[in-house]
Amino acid sequence: MLLNKNIKNGCRHCGENILEFLERKKENARYLIKYIDEPIINQTIPPSSFFREMEDYKSQIMKIVVLDGYAANPGDLSWDELKALGECTIYERTSPEEVLERAAGAEILLTNKVVLNAEIIAALPELKYIGVLATGYNIVDVTAAKEHGIIVTNIPAYSTDSVAQMVFAHILNIAQQVQHYTDEIRTGRWSNSPDFCFWDTPLIELRGKKIGIIGLGHTGYNTARIAIGFGMEVYAYTSKSPFQLPPEIKKMELDELFSTCDIVSLHCPLTGTTHGLINSKRLKQMKPTAILINTGRGPLINEQDLADALNNGTIFAAGLDVLTQEPPRSDNPLLTAKNCYITPHIAWASSAARERLMQIMLENVKAYLGGKPVNNVAK
């Protein structure tokens, strides 16, 4: 039969429109076949050969699975470009018990917070690529992935501006107490005030205050840049040499930073060394007027120690966007600690940041398909 005469008809064997089939084939960066060439489309091809190769192709289509896509894309963005690259299944959420069943046969596996440990990786022989939909990749056993020849990529620097913005959202909330005064006004307190104004909390001016930034990567540096704009003195605990720092940022050792700074903001990765970095010893080094900010990783902080320090006045306040367990247990001591302000891990989640995340995710996948992977953390 002439293929171009039957293009408008559906395949009797699989029910798929042949034109749609060919279009998908064109878009699939992994598998190139002879039918996309114009000269061949006009040739006579035996029906059995065409349908046999169609079925062979379907058995070879790359399988892509997104284990927990809802957080990155709750529906306001599009997965269409990813779907064009293969047979793509997107789950909003996946429990630990569902991982192996859902990931079976996948060459590409994308995860945000679903853990992929050594046991899971070993049980997925077709798996060749893991894409983490975040900057941190501690949810993946990278060593095990490397042993199995699996590429692991992350999404670097996509939310730098948004996270730095959240740092100062917390700082300004603590310094100005906007929500507190809004709530008080709604009760009629200002209307009934004998004076033109009232305040019952400390109101803190940032100019001249010392901020200590632990970890001077992309987000730490952007936080420093905003702090400089507020006229703050900026100090950093960093592996960078003092000669690598701009003159507005001074390098400082950890003990001095905790004892000197009015605000301490955490931007370091979670490692064996930094786990529990903020504990009772460190908190006792801080000023009683000090503010602690964490938009990095929850386990950087010993949560009971921080709750105790807030409740007994060792430090003044804390602004947190991350906790050790998310969502937190209802008995987490920080949920009821004095002057502890918590947001539900949303520093990264602005629309602009998530759009960048989706774009970098696609670029990572396409680079893998092209044989030149980028952002590979399993080298």
Q: Which residues contact 301 (CB under 8 A, 6 or more apart)?
A: 266, 276, 277, 278, 292, 294, 320, 324
Predicted confidence pLDDT, tens digits, the chain (379 residues): 334 434 344 443 444 454 455 455 445 544 443 334 444 444 444 555 555 555 555 456 899 999 999 999 999 999 999 999 999 999 999 999 999 999 999 999 999 999 999 999 999 999 999 999 999 898 999 999 999 999 999 999 999 999 999 999 999 999 999 999 999 999 999 999 999 999 999 999 999 999 999 999 999 999 999 999 999 999 999 999 999 999 999 999 999 999 999 999 999 999 999 999 999 999 999 999 999 999 999 999 999 999 999 999 999 999 999 999 999 999 999 999 999 999 999 999 999 999 999 999 999 999 999 999 999 999 8
What was the pLDDT predicted at 57?
Answer: 52
- Three-class SS state of 340: strand
Distance CA 254, CA 11 (A): 68
Strand partners, 187: none
Q: Which of 297, 303, 354, 356 is catalytic?
A: 297
Distance CA 319, CA 171 (A): 7
Fold of 63-158+353-369: Rossmann fold (3.40.50)
345 is catalytic: yes
Q: Which of 148, 345, 355, 363 is catalytic?
A: 345
326 is catalytic: yes
Second-level CATH architecture of 160-342: 3-Layer(aba) Sandwich (3.40)
pTM of the predicted model as reported, rounded to 2 decimal places: 0.81
* CB-CB contact of 228 with 167 (8 Å): no
What was the pLDDT predicted at 351?
Answer: 97
Q: Which residue has the tokens 């529906």?
A: 75
13 is catalytic: no
Q: Which of 98, 248, 256, 326 is catalytic?
A: 326
* CB-CB contact of 369 with 108 (8 Å): no
What was the pLDDT predicted at 61?
Answer: 81
Burial profile 245-284: b = 16 or more Cβ within 10 angstroms, e = fewer: beeebebbeeeebbebbbbbbbbbebeeebeebbeeebbe
Cis geometry, peptide bond prior to residue 246 (ω within 30 degrees of 0): no
Q: Where are the domains of the chain?
A: 3-60, 63-158+353-369, 160-342
160-342 has the same fold as 63-158+353-369: yes
* CB-CB contact of 112 with 137 (8 Å): no
| Degrees to nearest 5, angle at CA 350 with 320 and 345 | 25
What was the pLDDT predicted at 379?
Answer: 87
